[in-house]
Structure formats: C-alpha cells, structure tokens
Structure 1
C-alpha cells in the first residue's frame, strides 16, 4: 500500500467475461460523453487522457476482465510508479469509475469492478495560489508596454475571473459591450455572463475589436494572433510568462492564478460570495468558499503584522 492510498477489495463469487476490448469500450464511452452528455471539448480532452492512461496500463484486455484488485494495483501504479500528484490520481480514478458505471448500464460488462472496491486517495488541502495586490499592480503596469493582444487577454482574465479555456472560446457574438457583459460557455457547456467591471475596460475591448476585426478574418474568436488565427491557451500562457518577467515578478504566473486573484480581491472588497460564485461559474458555493480561507490568511497576516502587544509594550516603556 502506497502512502496516501487506502484500499480494500471484496471479490465477487463469479464473473462473466464478455468480449468488448477495454480500448473499444473507452472509445464508446467518449462518444457517449460527446453526443449524449454534451461535455465541453476541454472535459472530453481530459477524459481521453484519463482513459488513455487506463488502457495503457491494462493493455489489450476485455473490459469485463478488469477486476477490483487490478484497479487497486492501478491506483498504486499511478501514485508510485508514475508518481502522479494525488489530485491527478483522483481524477484518473473518477473517470474510470464513470466509465465502468456506464459500461454496466449499457450491458457491456456484467458487474462494476469498483463495487466492493474502495480506493481512497488523500489530496492535501491546498489554498489557491494568488498574486498579491502589489504583484497584480505591477503586472497591470507592465501591460501598458505589452502588445494589445497580451494586454487585453491579461486584463480580461483578471477583470472577469474567466478560465483561460473560456477566454479563448469567446466569440464576437458573445460580446454585449453596451451592457458591459460577455457570455461565457463554461464547464459542461454551462452558460453564464460575466461583467466587464469598468468603462475603461469596455473601451479597451471595443478598441481592440474595432482595430483587429475590421476586415474578413478566418475566425470570429475575439482574441487572434498576428495571422488572424484564434489564440490558444498555450499562447496566452506564454504571453503571460513573458509579461510577468517584464513586470519583475520572480515566481511563475499562470492564467489560473489571475482567476484566483480576481476571486480573492472581490471577496476582500466585500462582494457577496454568491455573486462571486456566479461570476466564476461554480456549481456549488462550497467551491467558492475556499477563497474565503485565502482572505482569512490575509487578515491573519495583517493582524499579526500590526503587533498590538508590541505596540502596548513600546508605549509602556515610553
């Protein structure tokens, strides 16, 4: 048993072996997710990666021949041999669970190998990584000397709390600049609206559209590179890394850090957590509540930095 994983297995008394290969079953499941569950392209890409890992481990076997004990060994392989992060191991196993539940419902397998099998992966609590207000201010100032594309992408990520995948998917038709809003298609193809928080930011978007969408272009995506092609998530990450270096920031800055920073700054500014939940597109407010812990850490640091008893002691000695 590897550190962080606890498992036990109850072996079924009998097992019927069918013929569909695990690889074929995985492809059928992905088709189901795409055509019937309407999962987003990002979610489908993650599922394909997870199922690819499962197939790579088990090889050319029939789907029904995968047992609970084999899944326990698979979990240990992910953690020990592959040395994947606990969160990644948990995601791989969650996808495998969904796969076998679907295979059971469709009659491809006679039983679910996860039934009677418990695999627990301990994921350490980790607060979101945010930029400080000072770091964000420096990044914002660096935007003044950046290209219009880098400036707009960076400031939109911070201003709206969008995921980077959501940002690159924004189309011209999603903009409602008269109302200062952008329609977003998030996880699971769930739609929401985010607010452009200032008139200055709205003018920035309007000016970019007027300059960069004047003629006929090969894509209607808002953000486009010099060739008129839709900007990719990798392109935004690269631009943000260069911008952070220009701003003199020593640590690696990612698009998701800007999302975390936006949420934390809004909560510290007194915005209702339910509004922040809607802005970020969280299904549950429990997901949003993690940012209150970040705010609490800032509060604790401020209180300890005030050194109240030290102040009393200094006044008393004076």
Structure 2
C-alpha cells in the first residue's frame, strides 16, 4: 500500500468511524497531502522513524512552518501510522521509540477588554439582528463559530434557557442562555427571520434561506468591530477567549467553564487563568497602594537604601 492510498483510507476512517467535523477533516487532508508530497510514492512500510525526524526538520526549516502547524502535521502523521499498525497494515509504528520535539512558544489567548466587548454589544448603527445576535451568542456561551452556524432550531430550548451544541468529534454539550434579555432576542429573531418558511432549519441563515457560513460570520464581526471603533481585527475565537476570561474573572468555577467550552481536559481551560492572573497583576500595580501611603504623609513606606 502506498502512502497516498493509506492516507485516503485513514481520512475515510476519520470521517466514517471517528465522525470528525468537516473543519478537522479539511485540516487532516492538508496534513496528509503534505506527508505524501514529502515522501512521494513510498510504500507505507518503508517509512522509518529516522525519516520522520527528517520530515519534522523539513517542515520547520525548508517549509518554514509555524511550530503549531508543524506539531499538527506530525500529530496527523502519528495518528495515521498508529492506525496502520493497529489494523495490521504495517508491521510496526515508526513513531514508536522515535522522539520528535516541537516547542511551541507560550502565548496567551487574545481577548477583548471589557470596554471593547461593551462597545461591540452596544453598537447599533447599521447592524443587522443576525450580526448582533450571533456576536452576543458567541460571547455569552463561548461556542466556536463552526458550532454557532450549526445550531438548528430544534437544538434551542427557550423555556429551559439552553442550547444543545455539537462540538469537536461530535461531542454534545449544553450551553446556558444567560438571562431573559438574550432569550428574548433569540425568540424575536426566530419569529421574524423564520416567519416566511424555512428553507433550512439552521438558526442563522442568509436572506435566500441557506445556512450561514463561518466565513460570513467572520466578515460580519469584522465590520461590526470597525463600526464600533475598535482598532484591531476581531475574530470569532477572540469572543470565545473573552467569554472564558470574563467568567473566570467573575469567579465562576473553572470546571464549569471547561464544560461550557467543551474542553476534554481542564488543562486546556487553565490557560485562561493565566490571562486572569495577568489582569490581576495590572490592576494591583495600577492601584499603587504603597504609593498612596507614601503620598498621605510625605514619607516612604518602603524606603530605598
């Protein structure tokens, strides 16, 4: 079996048996294409651990890919060869006993400030009900943009105040609609937008009845941010990051935030505590409590030598 044939078989396995999302499958297809392009028409049994180490170096140096991209390419390749070994298509997994380290620099998630989020929420000039509701829903629930456009009318229970979300790997979770104001906005939107029949049962749809795309949401959000006077580009994932950070800073238990975001591991959620810690440091330093004591009597509380 050639590597190309193995890659196609693995993608079918991911689609039919693992039920991965379309976005994940598209990313895996890119990863498999890169692997096949590098090794050419090689037999899967001929790929060695040493060759994979060289492949990782090629991705970083010759291709100049970002560390996160290199790590994802290797993760897909690792999954492919693990599956080939498990299904006895190769004698052994070449990744076994092979050490490949890709260091990703620590980077905090990009969030909006409370003031920036408030300006987005208050902006009404030329903003459609669809754009406004989509923006507030992503911020209020922390759902991904792909999850947002996949929400169907049957997933929404306005009496209970929750929405059923189908996330990565077809994992389902419930998110809470926080408050009557947002619940009322959803109810009004459904009444007005879906009154003339339903070409699609998706919550968000275009004027001609088709379900809204993730690209369309990104464009609408970018225009909303410009109208609100925000100087930086705002993305749907920034709203997800902002939701998590705001909840943690409001004192919500990290385990609840984990469930809301659909993180499989709480370690993924913990990165937002670093954002909260940074905000805490800025607030404390800005308060300058020792400076206030110094200014009260003219003497330094912590004198320098």
Q: 1:237 aligns with which of 201, 211, 218?
A: 218
Residues 96-117 of structure 1, C-alpha deviations (whole Å, 9 max, x = no match)? 0010011111122222121221
Q: Where does 1:150-169 land on structure 2 (aligned, <5 Å)?
A: 150-169=131-150
Aligned to 1:191: 172
Q: Report whether the alignment pairs 1:134 with 2:115.
A: yes
Contact 2:11 2:28 in 1 (8 A): yes
Whole-Å separation in 1 of the counterparts to 2:202 and 2:242? 25
Whole-Å separation in 2 of the counterparts to 1:83 and 1:240? 31
Aligned to 1:6: none
Runs of 4+ in structure 1 deviating by more than 3 angstroms, as ranges, are none
Q: Report whether the alignment pairs 1:21 with 2:21.
A: no
Contact 1:143 1:150 in 2 (8 A): no
So what's the TM-score if we normalise by structure 1? 0.91
Across the aligned residues of Structure 1 and Structure 2, the Cα RMSD in angstroms comes to: 1.3
Deviation at 1:178, TM superposition (A): 0.9
Whole-Å separation in 2 of the counterparts to 1:101 and 1:49? 18
Q: 1:310 aligns with which of 291, 296, 304?
A: 291
Residues 42-73 of structure 1, C-alpha deviations (whole Å, 9 max, x = no match)? 22222112111111222222111222222112
Contact 1:135 1:249 in 2 (8 A): yes
Whole-Å separation in 1 of the counterparts to 2:132 and 2:62? 42
DSSP-derived class of the 2:101 partner: strand
Q: Report whether the alignment pairs 1:56 with 2:40.
A: no
Aligned to 2:66: 85
Q: Report whether the alignment pairs 1:218 with 2:199.
A: yes
Whole-Å separation in 2 of the counterparts to 1:105 and 1:286? 28
Q: Which moved more, 1:117-126 or 1:215-224?
A: 215-224
Question: Which blocks of at least 5 consecutive residues in structure 1 are unaligned?
Answer: 1-19
DSSP-derived class of the 1:193 partner: strand
Q: Where does 1:45-124 land on structure 2 (aligned, <5 Å)?
A: 45-124=26-105
Whole-Å separation in 1 of the counterparts to 2:218 and 2:226? 13
Describe the shift of the 1:233–1:219 C-alpha distance in structure 2 as closer, same or farther (beyond 3 A).
same
Q: Which moved more, 1:263-272 or 1:47-56?
A: 47-56
Q: Report whether the alignment pairs 1:37 with 2:24.
A: no
Question: Which blocks of at least 5 consecutive residues in structure 2 are unaligned?
Answer: 300-305
So what's the TM-score if we normalise by structure 2? 0.95
Aligned to 1:146: 127
Q: 2:188 aligns with which of 207, 227, 230?
A: 207
Whole-Å separation in 2 of the counterparts to 1:258 and 1:246? 17
Q: 1:256 aligns with which of 237, 256, 281?
A: 237
**Count of aligned positions:** 299
Deviation at 1:224, TM superposition (A): 0.6
Q: Report whether the alignment pairs 1:293 with 2:274.
A: yes
